Amino acid sequence: MDTLDDGTEVVVKGGEPSAIAAEAAGLRWLAEPGAVGVPDVLGEAEGRMVSTRVPAGRPEQAAAETFGRGLAALHAAGAPAFGSPPPGGPVHAWIGNARMINETGPSWTPWYAEHRVLPYARQARDQGTFSAGDVALVERACARLELVGGPDEPPARLHGDLWTGNVLWSGGQGWVIDPAAHGGHRETDLAMLALFGTPQLDTILAAYDEAAPLADGWRDRVGLHQLFPLLVHAVLFGGGYGSRALDVCEQLATP
């Protein structure tokens, strides 16, 4: 943390230039609707970004309700297509320390399989985390996504890496940081909130569903939407994440 001459507390972040460019573009895009708390990007260049600091707070029920409604409004702000990057953001982006390509598609299930599932399964195979048989299982699961993916929805404006560590609580609301923002399915952000346990999750989901009712069967699709982050974690960390991803694929591949 640093402090500017006018007393503003800021966070200075450095990293791979395309990752910083993607994060800065994502924060600006998520801030546009004014729906949830997003730090202000004060400057970004040559692999460094300066943004306002979010003071520490607590995840109280009222803040969680506000965040749930705000997240629904953020998603409703939409995106041009599934996979579309934020304006000014790179196509070759990142999710954490893993590459993420923002190629677009008109329909969610084939786009999700091609750009958010299969690339990471194949990378896990190339690294030795998955076997050829494991990748074949992932491919069988992907072949059934159209049957289990739920009704069609328009592209939502996603945070894209909405695990509990990227949600801060301050001033009676939730704030989001470190996005992997892109156009996607709104249930993916919600499933990621559940992946590692977010405080007040039931309250967030209830407020979201009241503001923007979720399609029938959304709870049954949580595993499907968690498949993307699980495979990313399998690539980055191996171990049990790969096993959890394969368990999800086994369920999806079973008629």
Known catalytic residues?
161
Q: Of 223, 168, 144, whose CA–CA distance to 190 is shortest?
A: 223
Q: Is 55 exposed, middle or buried (0-12, 13-18, 19+ CB in 10 A)?
A: exposed
Backbone φ and ψ of 44, nearest 5°: -155, 130
Coil/strand/helix, residue 56:
coil
Token reading at 33? 């609707």
- Residue 57 in contact with residue 169, Cβ under 8 Å? yes
Please list, residue by residue across 216-235, b when 16 or more beta carbons sit within 10 angstroms of its beta carbon and e when fewer do.
eebeebbbbbbbbbbbbbbb
How many other CB atoms sit within 10 Å of the CB of residue 132? 7
Q: Which residues lie closer than 8 Å to 34 by C-beta, 6 or more apart?
A: none
